[in-house]
Amino acid sequence: MFAKLYPGEYLDSTYEIDFDKLYEDGYRGVIFDIDNTLVPHGAPADGRAKKLFAHLKELGYRCVLLSNNKEPRVKMFNDAVKVDYIFKAAKPSVKNYVRAMELMHTDTKNTIFVGDQIFTDVYGANRAGIRTILVKPIHPKEEIQIVLKRYLEKIVLFFYCRKHR
């Protein structure tokens, strides 16, 4: 029943993902959500985010930021990491996940999506056929519409964790 909502993996943080191993496994593109995935909501790229993107580029990854935010927010973050980005992405619509793969010259077999929300990030990426990694939100302060969705996410995660023990 919840299959399209289940992530491929569920981790504590973006910064614990073994991108070196994923590259060895053949992955070449990473699509990232920004807020609460890479930095707290609305924050600029910090040292940790800058270091991550430098390492990903060094490995040979192509990256795209995929955000439902408006361009000024996404551009502000991207000015520090310098990758492709798509703003007002309308996640969970599949269209811009596909567009992100086109920008990276990747496909569903060698692309990963990393995000912190089930009903936008994971659901959209799963529908697009992309491997998903759900991470726990970096900071508890969120907009009210996200806070409300988190209650529903807890139900999905309860069943996900039960199934993946």
Helices (H), the chain: 19-24, 47-59, 71-81, 95-104, 123-128, 144-163
The pLDDT of residue 80 = 97
Q: What is the pTM of this model?
A: 0.89
Distance between CA atoms of 59 and 97, rounded to whole angstroms? 22
Query: For the chain (length 165 residues), average pLDDT per consecutive 10?
Result: 85 97 98 96 95 98 97 97 97 97 98 94 96 88 62 76 72
**Domain containing residue 57:** 3-163
The pLDDT of residue 161 = 75
What does the DSSP 8-state code read for residue 44? P
| CATH number, residue 29 | 3.40.50.1000
Kind of pairing between the strands at 111-115 and 62-66? unpaired
The pLDDT of residue 9 = 94
Domain count, the chain: 1
